[in-house]
Amino acid sequence: MSGTSRAFIFPGQGSQSVGMARALADEFSVARALLDEVDEALGRKLSTLMFEGPQDELTLTANAQPALMAASLATIRVLEAEAGLDLARDAAFVAGHSLGEYSALAAAGSLGVADAARLLRTRGEAMQAAVPVGEGAMAALLGIDAEAAATVAAQAAAEAGEGAVCEVANDNGGGQVVVSGTAAAVARAIEIAKEAGARRSVLLPVSAPFHCRLMAPAAEKMKEALAGVDILAPSVPLVANVVAKSVSDPEEIRGLLVRQATGAVRWRESLVFMAEGGVSTFVECGAGKVLAGLVKRVCAAAGGISVGTPADLPAYKALA
């Protein structure tokens, strides 16, 4: 690990919004060039969809995933050009929430930008196709920890009948755990969670049950897609979702990206791992401010800032 106390983190699905990265592209040529590179890799003007919407089309999984990566990488390019960022020098770790792991790897030079864009389009399409719309669901259980949520999920799957699935998909920290699985089992989990002391439980507006065993077909698709892509050792260790520890070996990373489709996003543990490794400042790069908010809940002693617009640059430059 380098001597720095900074980690760079990259958002996942749900952070997308119409207009993201537009101000960066308007003001900085390096951001515009990055978005052009993604457009060329995908053979379509994804940047126009990012800038102009409509929101419902941007939110489609196969669009949102490469779009969020593009916004994150545009931010990194601006930080490099305008604030002298050198990840190899300035970061102890990189990490990304779900699809954000691909953004983190691209930022650290492990994946090429064009490869990352195409992989995320494939990932989004494969995840959407794995389960027919309406047959799966996800729910956020608020006010209970991951261990209690796992107990709730197991009970829900048992009570929902043969073939039912309900598993912890995201441990975001701060009493926010997401479960994923078949629709009936997730509905039952919401009921059981109330009895288990959850403050509130809500169905999430998603089109597929991500990060559970129902995504096995998507994992197979990603295994095929990743087999044809060069993965280099990242310039900064990656804290991987499914193991919540740092990795740098390219073949280990390849395998973990496959496992990530069905495995839980261990975000709370990942933040704790980085904080215990000496990180005191987390820099969220790209759309939204979700991850910086989670930093405050999980690592109260650490600072977190979000950078995604030109207006955010002074706060980054002011970091000690």
Which positions are catalytic? 98, 211
Pairing mode, if any, of strands 200-203 and 136-142? antiparallel
Cα–Cα dist 15/50, whole Å? 12
CA distances from 78 to 141, 286, 312 (A): 37, 11, 11
CA 200 to chain centre: 23
SS3 of residue 36 by DSSP: helix
Angle between helices 216-227 and 113-130 (to 10 degrees): 160
Q: Where are the beta strands (DSSP E) in the chain?
A: 6-10, 93-96, 136-142, 166-171, 176-182, 200-203, 238-239, 246-247, 281-285, 303-307
Which residue type does 318 have? A
Measure the CA–CA gap between 108 and 239, rounded to whole angstroms.
12
The CA-to-CA distance between both ends of the chain, in Å, stands at 19
Q: What's the CA gap between 285 and 236, in Å, rounded? A: 15
How many other CB atoms are there within 10 angstroms of residue 200's CB atom? 11
